[in-house]
Structure 1
Amino acid sequence: MVTEKHPSEERNSEIQISTGVSLLRQIGLVSATSFVVGTMIGSGIFVTPQYVLRFTGSAGLCLVMWTVGGIISLMGALTYVELASVVRQSGGEYAFYYKTFGPLPAFIYVFTVEVAMFPAGAAVGCLTFAEYFNSMLYDCGSPEVSKKLVAVAVIVTVMVINCYSVLLASRCQVFFTAAKLIALFIIIIGGLVKIGQGYTMELSTGFDGTVASPASAALSLYFAMFAYGGWNNIYYLLEEVKNPRRNIVLASVGGTALTTLVYVLTNISYLAVLSKRQIFSSKAVAATWANEVLGKAAIIIPISVLMSTFGSVSGGITASTRTSFAAARDGVFPQFMSYINVRYYTPIVPILFRTMMAIFMVAQGSITTLISFMTFLVWFFTGTCALCVIILRFRAKNDPERIKIPIVIPVLFLLICIFLLVTPIVQDPKLEFLYAVIFCLGSTLIYIPLVHYKVKPKILEKLEMWLQLIWEVAPPSQKKETW
């Protein structure tokens, strides 16, 4: 097979004979940190603060919940650091499951996230982008078709960037992360200025009005954790990060800590400037804050939300497509999902598949059921990864490359995940939770013939040939385990 060498930015390289192509280590510390911060800071911080405040009832407990959410995310990041140091392969949770439990649980995970969870997340982000974009063009609402077309345009743009270059995608992530941080810093600084001028609105009330119900506090934490989602995305890109033993740890832990600080300070600014009534009645609390503080310059915030959402979707696509890539390379998923473009060294096939699934979900219009389905599964799979740490402590106890964290961290993180998993079932049982269980178990019907018995329909053979000819893709080389 003829492939190209490691390309420079200009892609000028000599041709050499190789047994396969592989993903390149092009992501440095800044880019890795941007993937963490950029995917965590999406639309959540701009729309969920009112729900956290509503379910806590007071400014004091609200800020406590935002802080607790950051601590939980940091515990998760540390848990994944140890897992990554033992597994040392791309794919995130999939790779952890494969190492710990074997191919069947790993297949159930990758099938679930590939078909439902990740595309639904991308669709939600793109529809949020479309909502804010159209709000700048229409005063009294916008046509539904227009929103969907904008959302599809965003998905396609993200697809093109990620198919063309990992380096370009990482640079875009750095840019959009910087842009959204600047916007949040404007909110933080503006709030501090207002506090200096004597504006303390809800801050001065402290814990007055705190809701006594533990269930309400749990729900407030649930909404806060939605905004913190994405702290684990860098682990999908493990084989593409330079000096991963250093950069993965710094990016994961540092990025999560930075996001926590930004979120807490942003909410302090909201509570200093806005009343509870204003926050509760707002569809986008950041925009309401901007109207109060920035006046004519308030347009900065909707633009920042667009950048934030676009960057979050792009980072999510970049990271999550490595799950199906890693699974296909291991023979746990169709082989063509691991094919790499021989020109750009990107996993084009899973990116295209993810794009088509996201467009399908956008076209359907209603994804509320999928969001409930997705949230339930997120905490199930994340909690199971904490269990993987405990198991691998005994199974791979002599691994010299392991970064060992205090065992109390993954144990406590596992208990928290169980709490967040059970809370919505107890508070508001829905059929979506049953569908999630049925969907996972039903995926074994696909695993048994296609993976276990390796039955390969002729249509898959033709599809693989077509993909290689049209998209210039080839099977990957052996896995990288350099740590």
Structure 2
Amino acid sequence: MNFFLVKSMKQHANEDFVSFTWFRRSPRADDNQKMAIFWSHGDFYIRHTQGVLQNTGSVGMSLVIWTVCGVLSLFGALSYAELGTSIKKSGGHYTYILEVFGPLPAFVRVWVELLIIRPAATAVISLAFGRYILEPFFIQCEIPELAIKLITAVGITVVMVLNSMSVSWSARIQIFLTFCKLTAILIIIVPGVMQLIKGQTQHFKDAFSGRGANIMGLPLAFYYGMYAYAGWFYLNFVTEEVENPEKTIPLAICISMAIVTIGYVLTNVAYFTTISAEELLLSNAVAVTFSERLLGNFSLAVPIFVALSCFGSMNGGVFAVSRLFYVASREGQLPEILSMIHVRKHTPLPAVIVLHPLTMIMLFSGDLYSLLNFLSFARWLFIGLAVAGLIYLRYKRPDMHRPFKVPLFIPALFSFTCLFMVALSLYSDPFSTGIGFIITLTGVPAYYLFIIWDKKPKWFRRLSDKITRTLQIILEVVPEEDCDKL
């Protein structure tokens, strides 16, 4: 199989088969719950608290948005729990879109994820790691941007190496970092609760007063809030590696989303017991500003825990998304090399390291946040499409085995919310959203050029094969089906 040649897509209509992957390690159910907690965490600490507040205009409305986004994320997660237990294949929304809507929209989804969204998102959360890890060394002065980017580049490289060397160690470290994340949140929540007990509620007076939310700001407020919770769908990217997915996936998702939603809302409440809305918007590191006012010398520990939390988000994202690229390659929609396994480590090495150069380009390029704003609609458009596919399957394949089943209003409401956010973003910022649409639609000609067109020149085919074989030798990888011959 070669990416540049036509490959007939597998038919999944009545298929209830889960292929064995050689990097499979079958994490225990409790491990998946811990990992799902971490995967439900985005770049929360720097950008999104400020982003939600700035676009809602008041403390009270920002807390409402955080709560609503948590509930909506739970609805999306429950919908994915049904999809993940009904379609027992890795790949998440890519697999579900492929199953329901066919190869073209699935390819467009993985195309924009590989080239733009994932490298940019990894660079953004990694920058949070770089800033917080350096915070204790620059207490009295501004951290140089170059220093942040250099330490960020080191962190990204470490994550890529870790995921390339060992699946089990990557999972173990992820579980340890989950506790670091929960510790970081508790360090903020507990003093915040103590402040409330002491009557420090001045910033909650007239909580809904301020410049007020408007229709232009609400889409961005929802984007920031939903992005902070983003990660609840990552467990579905590794369905084939989950032990007893019919029980583990729903349990892990429900427990993790409950913990994360409560934690995020209480963290924001804690911030406002000590920091005013104006001060929060001006802070470069909200958690550090909060801890410096309440924790004294112990405040130095906060940026370390937050940095470890961000590192875990980097690790979890790479761990999960590499499986998305692996599955897309297995389906013939990405280069063949990305579905190969290291002969000794049994890791999807090419699918991991393909992100490294792309992420580095994003890291040292222009405004990452504008780029993510351009393409935020694409993420929620395709996630909404995947959940809409659940509704379609209910009517098209009513006899399909569904170990976990949610009421139809849950996927319907979540799909409508995703599409509403996309429509509202197009209305409020047509220029940025239009750029995002154009970037996304480049996947359509790419699909016909790389997947459908089967009359490519012989020299092109030979060059493609030679590149694949050379990379196999350099990376020491083989197709999955050849592992049992070694």
Asked whether the two chains share a fold, i.e. TM above 0.5, the reply is yes
Q: Which residue of 2 aligns with 1:320?
A: 321
Shift of 1:189: 0.8
Amino acid corresponding to residue 474 of structure 2 in structure 1: I
Q: Which residue of 2 aligns with 1:399?
A: 400
Q: Which residue of 2 aligns with 1:237?
A: 238
Shift of 1:269: 1.1
> Is residue 461 of structure 2 the alignment partner of residue 457 of structure 1?
yes
- Give the match's secondary structure for 2:307: helix
Q: Is the 8 A contact 2:76 2:414 kept in 1?
A: yes
Aligned 1:291-310 pairs, distance under 5 A: 291-310=292-311
Q: Is the 8 A contact 1:129 1:305 kept in 2?
A: yes
Distance in 1 (CA, whole Å) between partners of 2:96 and 2:336 is 20
Closer, same or farther in 2 for the Cα pair 1:83/1:123, shift >3 Å? same
- What TM-score results when the alignment is normalised by the length of structure 1? 0.89
Of stretches 365-374 and 235-244 in structure 1, the one that deviates more from structure 2 is: 365-374
Q: Which residue of 2 aligns with 1:99?
A: 99
Q: Is the 8 A contact 1:94 1:110 kept in 2?
A: yes
Distance in 2 (CA, whole Å) between partners of 1:206 and 1:53 is 12
Shift of 1:428: 2.4
Q: Which residue of 1 aligns with 2:3?
A: none
Shift of 1:103: 1.5
Q: 2:478 aligns with which of 457, 464, 474?
A: 474
Closer, same or farther in 2 for the Cα pair 1:317/1:268, shift >3 Å? same
Closer, same or farther in 2 for the Cα pair 1:94/1:212, shift >3 Å? closer
Q: Which residue of 2 aligns with 1:221?
A: 222
> Is residue 170 of structure 2 the alignment partner of residue 172 of structure 1?
no
Q: Is the 8 A contact 1:79 1:386 kept in 2?
A: yes
Closer, same or farther in 2 for the Cα pair 1:183/1:369, shift >3 Å? closer
Q: Which residue of 1 aligns with 2:417?
A: 416
- Give the match's secondary structure for 2:231: coil
- Give the match's secondary structure for 1:136: helix
Q: Is the 8 A contact 1:373 1:436 kept in 2?
A: yes
Shift of 1:308: 1.4
Amino acid corresponding to residue 204 of structure 2 in structure 1: L
Distance in 2 (CA, whole Å) between partners of 1:228 and 1:21 is 29
Q: Which residue of 2 aligns with 1:274?
A: 275
Amino acid corresponding to residue 434 of structure 1 in structure 2: G
Amino acid corresponding to residue 477 of structure 2 in structure 1: V
- Give the match's secondary structure for 2:334: coil
Q: Is the 8 A contact 1:176 1:307 kept in 2?
A: yes
Amino acid corresponding to residue 41 of structure 1 in structure 2: H
Aligned 1:20-39 pairs, distance under 5 A: 22-39=22-39
- Give the match's secondary structure for 1:375: helix
For structure 2, list consecutive stretches of 5 or more residues without a partner in the other structure: 1-18
Shift of 1:418: 1.3
The alignment's C-alpha RMSD in Å is 2.2
Shift of 1:440: 3.0
Distance in 2 (CA, whole Å) between partners of 1:457 and 1:445 is 19
Q: Is the 8 A contact 1:338 1:476 kept in 2?
A: yes
- Give the match's secondary structure for 2:430: coil
Amino acid corresponding to residue 391 of structure 2 in structure 1: I
For structure 1, list consecutive stretches of 5 or more residues without a partner in the other structure: 1-18, 479-483
Amino acid corresponding to residue 69 of structure 1 in structure 2: C
Distance in 1 (CA, whole Å) between partners of 2:61 and 2:190 is 22
Aligned 1:354-393 pairs, distance under 5 A: 354-393=355-394
Shift of 1:158: 0.2
Q: Paired residues, what number? A: 459
Q: Is the 8 A contact 1:119 1:358 kept in 2?
A: yes
Q: Is the 8 A contact 1:76 1:413 kept in 2?
A: yes
Distance in 1 (CA, whole Å) between partners of 2:148 and 2:115 is 23
Q: Which residue of 1 aligns with 2:62?
A: 62
- Give the match's secondary structure for 1:474: strand
Aligned 1:248-287 pairs, distance under 5 A: 248-287=249-288
Q: Is the 8 A contact 1:340 1:346 kept in 2?
A: yes
Distance in 1 (CA, whole Å) between partners of 2:143 and 2:278 is 26
Q: Which residue of 2 aligns with 1:72?
A: 72
Identity %: 33
Distance in 1 (CA, whole Å) between partners of 2:48 and 2:21 is 43
- Give the match's secondary structure for 1:202: helix
- Give the match's secondary structure for 1:80: helix
Distance in 2 (CA, whole Å) between partners of 1:263 and 1:144 is 28
Shift of 1:214: 4.5
Distance in 1 (CA, whole Å) between partners of 2:369 and 2:59 is 29
Of stretches 468-477 and 232-241 in structure 1, the one that deviates more from structure 2 is: 468-477
